[in-house]
Every structure is written in structure tokens, then in C-alpha cells.
Structure 1
Amino acid sequence: MTANSTRRLIDAPQTSLYTNLEVSSNRHPDKAAILYYGGMVSYRQLRSEADAMAGFLQQHCGVARGDRVVLYMQNSVQFVVAFYAVLRADAVVVPVNPMNRSSELQHILEDSGARVAFVGEELMEHVRTLPRGQLDHVIPARYADYLHEGIDLPLPDVLTSSCSQPLAEKIGGHAVVIGWNDALSRACAPREHESRPEDLACIPYTSGTTGRPKGCIHTHRSVMHSTVSCAKWPDLASESVMLCSVPLFHVTGMQNCMNMPIFIGATMAVTTRWDATCAAHLIERHRVSAWITVPTMLIDLLNLANVDKFDLSSIAYLSGGGAAMPQAVAQQIQQRWGIPYVEGYGLTETMAATHINPPKRSKPQCMGVPVFNTSSLVVDPETLEPLGEGETGEILVSGPQVFDGYWKSPDATREAFVLIDGKRYLRTGDLGYVDSDGYFFVVDRLKRMINASGYKVWPAEVEAMLFEHPAVQEACVIATLDPRRGESVKAVIVLRNGEHATEADIVSWARERMASYKVPRVVQFADSLPRTASGKIQWRLLQEEETRSRNARS
């Protein structure tokens, strides 16, 4: 069944993504583009620095059209400048998770062929251990260089500690290192901008949950369509002030918290690390009106002991994805702000959203409806036959934001797509269904189903119910081996501060609220759950640990 998307159409600009910064800097030269812990960068300054860094890349680093350049940094002014500098130089951005270490970075460098990298000062230790000849030029950055005196906000350690190593040096004799400020001071003028919509703009890498991370090929056209969709769907105005707390290397943050605000000429309040207290201060101080975030950050904010001391009334739009918003938390949001948490759905392969809930007609724990110019189907994962309303199958998507394929991986690219009625669809690997209103719901990942004596258990459903327990802050459901049933349900639970519960308490509570085959047979308590930098719970890590543990005991 296909949700009707023909009435949701837009025409995105047929230009390079960099043109958005050019347009906004011409319209709002003195307006704050970035607010950074009390400091301010205007649109004029942002464009000027991006242009100067682009010229440096071309003249001193030999970056040519189509070359890949790595961005290995946390959220910062430098990340935004570097991103647009690479685009201005007609090159391709390769964003790297700052949680990655040397071996992971090495894989992406080798796979992408990038020879130049922007690197956060605190991450230089992982660059220094790379094999000789891996990089030609490295431009390290101190995020604190953009701080101003008199800061009264809680700052992350990375902004208050100083690296003992000088920024400009040779790394093991195999790369030229020139500090950020030194590079800017060259005031190099870039060549004429030549990128077209069909040229490559960005190659973000998948999280690697199904093997080695793969690069997703995105053109200026695919990124632009996603950027415009992010703005037009909630109809955000240039007067918006947006809290940018999710990682910019990830497509959710990249699109919703950087590229989209620049497209509409809005202001970004950027944080390098997540801190709920700092976020509350920023919302109050800058009258933040829009926040695209993940449920865990909202949960942290609402659980602040002194949250009621802050004036957070400026928030007019809350949205996000990555994980379903627990219904109990959604109700708190509705009570506090009088607005819904607008849930959406997307992939690295689709440069963020393919589905978003209509802001005024949102459904809870729902991925929403297909966004502009996008079609979606639910099919039988084996036969690829389209399924009917309410039937669970694999979700497929087709639209301008869908990537061209995996970098240097033709086999994986062929497996990712399927033709149905002459249209090319991406196989998301997610299971879900569509209701009578055309809203899509994710049930779970295709390979995450628990088979308990033939009964299919979808972990996400059990997690959503566990969230309703008053002592449960977070939960992750995985499979545990069962000699009689094959598999049973195990819940790894983080309790709320000050709350107490035993395994028997959780099991007894669950038995009253869900079918017996869904009830966790094993409950493990943890201080925290492993997460990706984008906030998603790494259930696969917990599953692998559980499997190893069971095998060792058997």
C-alpha cells in the first residue's frame, strides 16, 4: 500500500548546497548565524571564513573538484565553517563520528580516499597513530578559540582543558599540520564555485551495525531536497532560534541543525557536548523556538531537579527521531509546552527524513507520513509483494533524498534497491505497517525479532511498555537463549534517580500489562545503555554480549 504523497510536493533549488550560505549571508549579513556558549558568529563572518578556508584547501592542500575531505570534529563553529568550506572548494564532505578511534578512522580514510582532514584538537591523538602516508594535510581546531570572556554557562571539559601538543607540527613525518587560525590567516581566495546539483556533496558513513561502515553517496541535489524538506514541513521562519545539541556529523543534526537553519537564515545555538543544565540556560537566554533532538535529551531535560526554575516557554516546535518517544514523556511535553513531539524517520542513506508526522496531526510513537516528493511501501520481505493496511512487512522508500548507492560497493548497492512497478525503492531493513490514514509505524528492525516458542516478539513494543513503569528511565530489550522456548525476552533497564525496583517487581508489573510471551524472563539493571553519538541505543552490542555470556555458561 502506498501512502498518497502526490499532494506533498516541493521544488528545491537546483543549485549547490553552498549557495544557501551565500544567499543567507547576502540577506542577513549581520544576523547571528551561530551562538556558541556566549559567543556569536554572524552570517557575514561564517561565509567569509568558509571562503577563506576553501581557498586554503585549494591553494595549500591541493584539494580539487570531487576530492573527499574528512571532518573529524565535535559540534563547534569550526565544524560548520569547515563543512561549507569543503563545499565551496567543490569537494566532498566525509563526516566522521568523533567517537571513532584510529582503526575506525583509518577504514574511512582508506575507503573514501580522503587525503585531507579537519580534526578536533582532542582527537589528534587518534590521527597521530595512523599509518605513515595515510594523510597529506591535517587542519586541527581548538573549539575554545571561538569562546568569549565572561562565560557563565557550564562548559564541557573539551572546552576548558588544553592540549599539551602544539597544533601545527608534523605527525610522524607523514602529514603537514597547519592550525585552524594559521590557515584562516592566509586569507586565500577560492576559485570560482563550480559544483552542480548532480555533483557529490557528502559521503556520510553508516554506523556499521551490519558490518564495516559503508559510505553513502549523496549529491548536492539529494542533500538540498532533504534540507528544504526539513524547513518547509514545519514551516519554520528565518526568525527561528534553534538549539543544536545533536551531533552534526550525523545526518539528523547535519540537516536539521545546520543545513536547514542556514537555508532559511535562522540562528543556531550550538553545543559541543550534551548537558541538560546548559541546554536549559540556552533555551531561556536565547529564546530558543525550535529543537530537533532525540528522546533521551528531552528525558534528561525534563528530569532536571530544578527544571521548573527555567523559562522554557519559547519552545514552539519539538521534533526528532532515532527512537520512539515514550508515551509518558510525550504527555509531559504536551502538558509543559502545549505542543506535540513531532516524530520522524530517516536513514543515513536518505540524508535524514523520509517520513515525518504532520505538526498539527501527529500520532504518538509513529514515524509519520512520507515527506515531500516521497513514496513509501510496505512489502513482504521475502516476496516483495506489497502488503495491505495494517500488515507488517519491510518498509521501502523512494524519493529525491535517497542516496545514489554505497561508495565503492556495487554489490551492496544492488542489494539495497528493488524495482516495483518500474520505480526504484530503497529497502530500509525496518519492519512496519501503514494505517488507514496513511501513517507509517515502525515495528522493529528486520533482523531483531525474538522468536519465543514460535511467537514473534518485537523488542521495540516491549520497550515502549516498560517505559511506562514509574521506576524505569530507559530500557533495551534483547533475546536470551531459552532451552525450552528457543529464545526468551531479556530487558536491560536503567532506573530513574532515587527509584528502586527488583527483577521480580519488573516481571510482576509486566505480567499485568502484556502477553505472557512478551514478558521479560530476565531483567538486568545497568547504570547506562551503550549509545551511538546520534543517541541511538546500541542494542546489537547488548545482544552480542548476552550471546557470548550464554554460550560461555552452556
Structure 2
Amino acid sequence: MNTLHHAHWPQGLPHELVVPEASVYTNLQVSALRYPDKAAIIFYDSIITYSELHAEVLALAGYLQRVCGVQRGDRVLLNMQNCPQFIIGFYAILRADAMVVPVNPMLMTDELSHYIADSSAKTALVSQEIFSRLQPLIGNSILQNAIVATYSDHLTKTTSLNIPDFVKAERQVPEQAGVCSWQAAVTAGYQPQAHMATPEDLACMPYTSGTTGKPKGCIHTHRSVIFNSVASPTWSGSIVANHVSLAVLPFFHVTGMQSVMNSMIYCGGTLVILPRWDRDVAGQLITRYAVSNWTLVPSMMIDFLSNPRLAEYDISRLNRVSGGGAAMPAAIAQKLLDLSGQVYMEGYGLSETMAASHVNPPQRMKQQCLGVPYFNVDSRIVDPTTLQEVSQGETGEIWIHGPQVFQGYWNDPQKTADSFAELDGKKFFRSGDLGYMDAEGFFFFTDRLKRMINASGFKVWPAEVESMMYQHPAIQECCIIAAHDAYRGETVKAVIVKKTGSDVTAQDIMTWAHDKMAAYKVPKFIEFVDSLPKSGTGKVMWRTLQEKEAAKAK
């Protein structure tokens, strides 16, 4: 095990962390007991205290069990943007001893049908503005129940902030068998049964995709989820209820879920929620509520610091600005430092590790660096062919052993087996990412073994997009690659061979794709070609196209 990085370990912190032997729900229960009248959530100036949050969680958990028939170990879909109901729903599902299946609210009906069928989710919590995408599946699949949340139910105070129309929309939940409004569910008066979940029970299953083209569920227990909920705030040296976090990174994504939502609930901190990025409202909220913690992706910071109104906002009370998913441009990191005195803290993690496995030490932060393996984590750089550890400075695959590593992929024992390997008597997760370790034990990313596009932190898997693109009647062949994007870092490009006689245009295909898949997966660029390069066995040589595209950006 490498210990070079121990020389730069945060002062006063142990190398091994002891975390609660409990369910993730108990973190909320404890914070509600400790801080009943403290603001847990601020939603466009409307405040929900910890006692109010806990009470609504219990009421919803009771409805899930008594009316929807949710039982221990069942999977429940959670499909909405950042809002109070996401947090309530997340903890209510856990309180009902069930497993949260968080999904991207940008997903369309065809995509959602896979998540429902694969997870066997019979119940879904969904927000009103995207309910129409889920509605056709109720009763026509294994999905039997949907509780529909209206964001404006939690707008209880007049505000000068700009509220998007979809947030302030009035309640409009259709009457349909199996469909209930959120308000009706939490006011029904049901109480949950005794909480039974242990650290080994199923807790959360975020989905990730891969070369097979179909998203796979990452199985996490309460033990693996609770670890980073505790480790994240501990790493910065302060588990205090004074924290105020701007929660704009999506909660359905493990970084927003763990480093923001669950960490703040554990600390008893305050979550200032934005459902959708708005640089002016973000600046107003940071100023108004003395935001101390902000976890983000680089594209948000680029946009925030380019705002002509930036001088109107007070960001001086920020004491932790962090993120991952993509490297922060050096010029943007320097501008943040000049304005706030904050060095951007970069980290690294995956859905399989329930957020971070590597983070930069607060007192020794390197830019465009993954950081060091943090609490309880053993990470190695391994030759992906020989499966032997490489020398310091050499590139290899990043392997991870730690308490936050998932149990495996849902319904896919072969993919699970392929994703783990043993080294020095330990079971390591093979990340599929390539990197190297420097002389001080810091890890750096270089490339991917997996074929994946990273668009502003959203992971796009070409095989999945290709499988959907082939549904278009004019597409003979299609290869999805990454194209450079100044704002998103990478974006999606489709290289297409049209069927003979087709006069379809690039715009036609993009318009069609918007109805079939989440917007971040839709190709931003389309190139028509006569043929795709292929190997002697007939496989499309996507890497040849990718290298050609990369050469254009130089």
C-alpha cells in the first residue's frame, strides 16, 4: 500500500475513519433531535427546519409502506430535480427500509422503462414537470404507483429571487389509478413501521453505463453510502452545524448526493437549494445566506466568474469550493483564488465508489489533480494487461479498495466479476480509468480504458447513444465520439452513414434525438460519411475516428 501521500495528510486527522454502524436515515433522525428548529433546507427563501423535514419524511415513509406496499429491500425510483422533495423522498425511502434508485430527470420514457424493468421498481417518486414521461409506464409495466411532487408546495414565503416557471407552477396532478399527489400522501396521516435496515441492507442504486450500451445499477448498502457522508466533511476538518452549502450540483448524481446532501444532513448543516443553474440567483443566495460550502462542476464556475454582475455578490465567506468530473481550467482556478482566497479542491470518484475515493488535502491542493486516496482507501496504479502494479510515474489503470466501493452491478454477475481483481490479498475495483501517481503520492488522470464522454460532469456512454440512434429509419451506421467543447469540456458527436436514398439532415436527426434521449446525450455535431473505418473482423474502429477528431482540436 502506498503511503507517500501520508506526508501531506490533513493535520490532526486519522488515516482510518470510524463511521456510524447505522442506516443512512439515522443521520437525519439524529440531526432532527439535535437541531429541531434549525434550517435544514432553504428553497428560494422558504425555510424547512430539521423537525419539519423529519416529520414529512416519516409521513411519506408511512404512505410508501401502508399504501404503496413498499417492503424491506424493494427498489423505489426517485426522479426529480433538486428540491426539498428529493431530500424528503430519499430519506423516506430509506426510512421505509427500501432502496433509492435515483435517476436523471432529463431521461425520456424509453430510457425510464429500462430503469424500471431492470430494478423492478413498483413505486416512483417523480416531480410534476417531468411526470408525463413516466405516466405511460404506470400500469403498463411493473411500475404500479407514482407519487407526484409539486415544487411550489414548498414555496411558503414571498421572495425577490427569480423563480423558474416550472418551480412556481401550481399543483396539477392528474387523476389516474396508482397516482397520488405528494401533498395528499404526506397529509394522509400514515406512520411507518419500525425501522429495520442495518448497515448491510440495500440503500441506494445509482445507474452507470458501459460498453454493453445498457445502464447498470451500482449496488450500495447503507455501509458504503454512510462512509462518504461522514468522510467528506471530516476531510476538511469540520463537522459542524454551521455549514451552509449551495446545493446546485444534481442530487441524483453521487457527488451532489454525497458531498452535498448527505454530508450536510449528517452535520446538521443547511442546504440552500437550486433546482437548475442560474448564476445570478446563485450569487444572491451565496451572499444572502453566507454560503460556506460549494461543490460544483467547472462549467458552473466558468459561468459564475464571467458574470458582469459578479461584483454585486459577496463570496468572501466561502471556505470550501470543491468538485470533480472534469479538471478546473487553471485560469479559472486562479480567478477564484484572487476573488475569494479559495483554492479549488479537486477530487475523484465514481458511481461505483459513491462519490470520492481520492481528494486533494486542504493544505496541499494540486490543480488538475485527482488528489490522494483518502480515509481507509488503498489505491494502486496497475498495468491493465499484466495486472501487476506499475512503478511510480508510470501510467496504468486506477484500482480502488475501500469501504465506499459498491457491492457489484445489479443483475449482472459477469460484469461484476470482471470489474474486480485481487492484489496483495485485497479485492480492488477496476475503475477503467488510466492515470499515474507522482513522487508525493498524488494521482493524476490521463485517459480512459472505458469508452466514455464527459460533458460537464454528465457521463455519456457512446454504446448507449448508438443503440438509440439506430432506431432512426435513415441511419445505416453510426459511431458516437467525443468532440471538444469550450464550455462543456467534451460534447457528443455522431458520425453517420445514411441509408441509400435518404435526404435526412443533421437537424432532422438532432430534433428526433431530443425526443428519444436526455438532452446531454443528444449529438451536438453530426458528420455524414460514406463509410466508417472497420477492423479486419468488421468492428467499427471508433478510436480512429476519435483520434481524428482530437487532432482537429489541437
Task: Give the TM-score taking structure 2 as reference length.
Answer: 0.81
In the alignment, structure 1 residue 93 sits paired with structure 2 residue 95: no
In the alignment, structure 1 residue 137 sits paired with structure 2 residue 145: yes
Shift of 1:231: 1.4
Q: Distance in 2 between matches of 1:406 and 1:362?
A: 33
In the alignment, structure 1 residue 492 sits paired with structure 2 residue 481: no
Alignment-derived partner of residue 275 in structure 2: 272
Structure 2 counterpart of 1:343, which letter?
E
Alignment-derived partner of residue 51 in structure 1: 58
Q: 1:111 to 1:434 in 2, by over 3 A?
A: same
User: CA contact under 8 A between 2:228 and 2:259: conserved in structure 1?
Assistant: no
The number of equivalent residue pairs is: 475
In the alignment, structure 1 residue 335 sits paired with structure 2 residue 357: no
Shift of 1:494: 3.8
Within 5 Å, which residues of 2 pair with 1:367-516? 367-447=370-450, 492-494=484-486
Q: Distance in 2 between matches of 1:426 and 1:60?
A: 39
Q: Distance in 1 between matches of 2:119 and 2:319?
A: 40
User: CA contact under 8 A between 2:79 and 2:126: conserved in structure 1?
Assistant: yes
Measured against aligned partners, the alpha-carbon deviations of 1:250-302 in whole angstroms (never above 9, x if no partner) come to 10000011111000100000111111111000000000011011111111110
Alignment-derived partner of residue 179 in structure 1: 181
In the alignment, structure 1 residue 125 sits paired with structure 2 residue 127: no
Measured against aligned partners, the alpha-carbon deviations of 1:328-352 in whole angstroms (never above 9, x if no partner) come to 1111111111121000000000000
Within 5 Å, which residues of 2 pair with 1:76-225? 76-130=83-137, 132-162=140-170, 166-170=172-176, 175-207=177-209, 211-225=213-227
Structure 1 counterpart of 2:156, which letter?
H
User: CA contact under 8 A between 2:433 and 2:447: conserved in structure 1?
Assistant: yes
Within 5 Å, which residues of 2 pair with 1:296-335? 296-335=299-338
- SS of 2:218's equivalent in the other structure is coil
Structure 1 counterpart of 2:51, which letter?
R
Q: Distance in 1 between matches of 2:412 and 2:451?
A: 25
Q: 1:537 to 1:177 in 2, by over 3 A?
A: closer
User: CA contact under 8 A between 1:244 and 1:291: conserved in structure 2?
Assistant: yes
Task: Give the TM-score taking structure 1 as reference length.
Answer: 0.81
Structure 2 counterpart of 1:152, which letter?
S
Q: 1:541 to 1:369 in 2, by over 3 A?
A: farther
Shift of 1:448: 5.8
User: CA contact under 8 A between 2:229 and 2:259: conserved in structure 1?
Assistant: yes
User: CA contact under 8 A between 1:3 and 1:439: conserved in structure 2?
Assistant: no
Shift of 1:308: 1.0
Q: 1:448 to 1:100 in 2, by over 3 A?
A: closer
User: CA contact under 8 A between 1:350 and 1:402: conserved in structure 2?
Assistant: yes
Q: 1:106 to 1:5 in 2, by over 3 A?
A: farther
- SS of 2:409's equivalent in the other structure is coil
User: CA contact under 8 A between 2:357 and 2:400: conserved in structure 1?
Assistant: yes
Alignment-derived partner of residue 467 in structure 2: none
Q: 1:200 to 1:552 in 2, by over 3 A?
A: closer
User: CA contact under 8 A between 1:95 and 1:203: conserved in structure 2?
Assistant: yes
Q: Distance in 2 between matches of 1:208 and 1:541?
A: 18
Alignment-derived partner of residue 2 in structure 1: 2
Which residues of structure 2 form unaligned runs of 5+?
A: 7-13, 463-480, 489-512, 534-544, 546-554
Q: 1:376 to 1:181 in 2, by over 3 A?
A: same
- SS of 1:427's equivalent in the other structure is strand
In the alignment, structure 1 residue 37 sits paired with structure 2 residue 44: yes
Q: 1:231 to 1:494 in 2, by over 3 A?
A: closer
User: CA contact under 8 A between 1:199 and 1:220: conserved in structure 2?
Assistant: yes
Q: 1:541 to 1:389 in 2, by over 3 A?
A: farther
Shift of 1:493: 4.0
User: CA contact under 8 A between 1:5 and 1:375: conserved in structure 2?
Assistant: no
Measured against aligned partners, the alpha-carbon deviations of 1:44-86 in whole angstroms (never above 9, x if no partner) come to 0010000011011111111111111110111110000010000
- SS of 2:48's equivalent in the other structure is strand
Q: Name which of 347, 365, 370 aligns with 2:368.
A: 365
Percent identity at matched positions?
47
- SS of 1:298's equivalent in the other structure is helix
Shift of 1:162: 4.6
Q: Name which of 282, 295, 299 aligns with 2:298.
A: 295
User: CA contact under 8 A between 1:3 and 1:375: conserved in structure 2?
Assistant: no
Measured against aligned partners, the alpha-carbon deviations of 1:377-424 in whole angstroms (never above 9, x if no partner) come to 001111111001110111000000000000010011001101112111
Q: Distance in 2 between matches of 1:348 and 1:197?
A: 19
Q: 1:399 to 1:550 in 2, by over 3 A?
A: farther
Q: 1:143 to 1:537 in 2, by over 3 A?
A: closer
- SS of 1:442's equivalent in the other structure is strand
Structure 1 counterpart of 2:398, which letter?
I
Shift of 1:168: 4.7
User: CA contact under 8 A between 1:4 and 1:375: conserved in structure 2?
Assistant: no
User: CA contact under 8 A between 1:3 and 1:369: conserved in structure 2?
Assistant: no
Shift of 1:155: 1.5
User: CA contact under 8 A between 1:3 and 1:370: conserved in structure 2?
Assistant: no
User: CA contact under 8 A between 2:120 and 2:142: conserved in structure 1?
Assistant: no
User: CA contact under 8 A between 2:206 and 2:254: conserved in structure 1?
Assistant: yes
User: CA contact under 8 A between 2:77 and 2:121: conserved in structure 1?
Assistant: yes
Q: Distance in 1 between matches of 2:117 and 2:51?
A: 36
Q: Distance in 1 between matches of 2:97 and 2:450?
A: 39
Alignment-derived partner of residue 76 in structure 2: 69
In the alignment, structure 1 residue 246 sits paired with structure 2 residue 225: no
Shift of 1:309: 1.5
Q: 1:537 to 1:35 in 2, by over 3 A?
A: same
Which residues of structure 1 form unaligned runs of 5+?
A: 450-458, 464-475, 479-488, 497-529
In the alignment, structure 1 residue 345 sits paired with structure 2 residue 348: yes
Measured against aligned partners, the alpha-carbon deviations of 1:496-539 in whole angstroms (never above 9, x if no partner) come to 9xxxxxxxxxxxxxxxxxxxxxxxxxxxxxxxxx99xxx9986x
User: CA contact under 8 A between 1:66 and 1:200: conserved in structure 2?
Assistant: yes
Structure 1 counterpart of 2:38, which letter?
K
Q: 1:129 to 1:209 in 2, by over 3 A?
A: farther
Structure 2 counterpart of 1:167, which letter?
V
User: CA contact under 8 A between 2:211 and 2:451: conserved in structure 1?
Assistant: no
Q: Distance in 2 between matches of 1:305 and 1:111?
A: 47
